[in-house]
Amino acid sequence: MSWLVTGGAGYIGAHVVRALADAGIAPVVIDDLFSGVESFVPADVPFVKASILDTDAVETTLREHDVTGVIHCAGYKYAGESVKFPLLNYSINVEGTRSLLEAMQRADVRRLVFSSSAGVYGNSGVEFVTESTPTTPESPYGESKLIGEWLIRDQRIATEMAGAPLAATSLRYFNVCGSGHADVWDASPHNLFPKVLFAIQAGKAPQVNGTDYPTPDGTCVRDYVHVSDLAAAHVVAAQRLEAGLPVEPVYNLGSGDGTSVREIVDAMVAATGCAQEPVEGPRRPGDPAKIVADGTLAARDLDWAMRHTVQDMVDSAWASHPKG
């Protein structure tokens, strides 16, 4: 018995793989290394280099490794870039999810945890989002994640009618940061933490965009969650599905209160010993002052909790960040 992690060579996926192993569940990884790093996959974990768009390869992997469930982390995760490259975004996130669902149906694998995104909520004008908040995504990335949830919903309905129901849940979250392992880091050039750390390494002052919002320190407030906490919730979701326990269709993995950009950047400056004060820049178009997610349902069912502080997130991100 094993669980397949799509995108298991990525930053989030690699943490999920290790969390599965720590929980006594045998992980298998499939990743085309489009953005993943092969060395992130432990040497004793089966690794298949293939795209989730290759339905036959996914089906073969499911069968050969006696997979009983899938944690679907593979995806094009760049919201801003998705506006520039919508066709690539939809190919990977929508067609890739459709391909995975087809492979699972062929191989009779009926358990799925989908690593979705709180980007499905968009800029709804609501500061505190719950699972019932209307979904109004504002980027092709957010749209593609929502379509992925729809695909899973429709496949669940279809398989129920066929007498072989798909058990599935989707996990929505905002900004993921930190590291649980010194040899795994956030390699994305588009995420806040690596962008700031690379700037500091290059001797540049980090920039804070927008300092006149109606928040305590004038900067945007968002959810920042430690990647190890996120990975743990994915594993508990898999365990519930394996045990046949009920799950909600979607869960928010949110902090409930949020952290300001100023707090994050100040913590990074302190952790790295940066001698330069952050530079204040203009607001970015479309950025709401505050948006955080309610994690109450996930706390009830998935043992979700913010077990790491902002300082933990920053310190671990800096410790794992490549220094070369």
pLDDT of residue 324: 67
- Number of compact structural domains in the chain: 2
Catalytic residue (one of 90, 121, 141, 173): 141
Q: What percent of the chain has pLDDT over 70?
A: 100
User: Of 252, 241, 264, 243, which Cα lies nearest the Cα of 292?
Assistant: 252
Whether residue 224 lies in the annotated active site: no
pLDDT, mean of residues 129-139: 95
* pLDDT (tens digit per residue) in 107-122: 999 999 999 999 999 9
Query: Are 15 and 96 contained in the same domain?
Result: yes
- Which of 209, 236, 252 is a domain's end point? 252
Query: Are 92 and 204 contained in the same domain?
Result: no
Query: Are 141 and 201 contained in the same domain?
Result: no
CA distance 25 to 204: 43
Query: Are 199 and 281 contained in the same domain?
Result: yes
pLDDT surpassing 80 at residue 221: yes
* pLDDT (tens digit per residue) in 261-299: 999 999 998 999 988 888 999 987 778 899 999 999 999
pLDDT of residue 163: 95
Query: Are 197 and 279 contained in the same domain?
Result: yes
Q: What is the CATH number of the domain that holds 170?
A: 3.40.50.720
Query: Are 43 and 171 contained in the same domain?
Result: yes
Q: What is the CATH number of the domain that holds 302?
A: 3.90.25.10
pTM of the model: 0.96
pLDDT of residue 190: 84
pLDDT surpassing 80 at residue 149: yes
Token pair in block for residue 149 = 């949830």
DSSP E strands in the chain: the ranges are 2-6, 26-31, 47-49, 67-72, 111-115, 128-129, 167-172, 175-177, 207-209, 221-222, 224-226, 250-252, 259-260, 279-281, 290-293
Query: Are 62 and 164 contained in the same domain?
Result: yes
Domain extent, residue 94, equals 2-176+224-252
Query: Are 138 and 193 contained in the same domain?
Result: no
* pLDDT (tens digit per residue) in 14-42: 999 999 999 999 999 999 999 999 999 99
